Amino acid sequence: MEFELGDVVTEQAIRPITLALAVFKFDRFEWAVEKCTELGAAQIVPVIARRTDTHLAHAAEKRVERWRRIAHEASQQSRRTAPPEIAAPIKLKAHLENPQPAMRILLAENEDQVQLGDVCGGSDPIALAIGPEGGWAEDELKMFSATGWQSASLGSTILRAETAAIAALAVVQSLSN
């Protein structure tokens, strides 16, 4: 049996990014998992938010293995040495009670003063939260604030959740040193 070794793949040190991604329509959620893996997310946490459709929230637990396969394939395609951790779906309140990186940024469509690019520089671990279709509910925004999350914006347009996740990761990665 003969084989030939390919090129050595080296992975650059990238900033550890945890993405708390509210569960939304599965085809688009899966696309976000794939692209966020390619962009270097270290962990993706599917979050059940107030505006997550009930049937999606119930079915999310059954989709975790599929999301992990998608992340595995995307990590191979993007030459990552390991895929991101895909956590089991969790309710927002429970997620916020878990230990988080010191830098926690909530992407909020109602934020008009602080841009993500203004607050995410550096190389320390960071957590980003992307809301569901319709955005975060008012009580959820209060929970984020009470647990030390800073609100930031991706600009003046309203983005779909999967677009916001991809844009946020791209901004953070481009400003990380």
Tell me the per-residue pLDDT of 101-113, one tens digit each, with 9 for 90 and over. 999 999 999 899 9
27-53 pLDDT per residue, tens: 999 999 999 999 999 999 999 999 999
Spell out the domains of the chain, with CATH numbers in brackets. 17-175 (3.40.1280.10)
Write the single-letter amino acid at 33: V
74 exposure class (CB count in 10 Å sphere: 0-12, 13-18, 19+): buried
**Whether the predicted pLDDT of 98 surpasses 60:** yes
Q: What average pLDDT score do residues 78-103 get?
A: 96
Among all chains, which residue has been given the structure tokens 């997620």?
A: 95
51 CB-near residues (< 8 Å, 6+ apart) = 22, 131, 132, 133, 134, 135, 136, 137
User: What pLDDT, on the 0 to 100 scale, is given for residue 9?
Assistant: 56
Ranges 5-9, 90-94, 126-130: which has the least confidence: 5-9
Please report, in angstroms and rounded to a whole number, the separation of the first and last CA atoms in the chain: 45
Tokens of 151: 């609100």
pLDDT of amino acid 92: 98
Task: Tell me the pLDDT tens digit for each residue of 127-174.
Answer: 999 999 999 999 999 999 999 999 999 999 999 999 999 999 999 999
**CB 91, CB 132: distance < 8 Å:** no
Helices (H), 17-91: 26-38, 54-77
What is the distance between the alpha carbons of residues 88 and 99, in angstroms, rounded to a whole number?
16
- Torsion over CA of 73, 158, 171 and 139, rounded to 10 degrees? -90
Mean pLDDT, all residues of the chain? 94
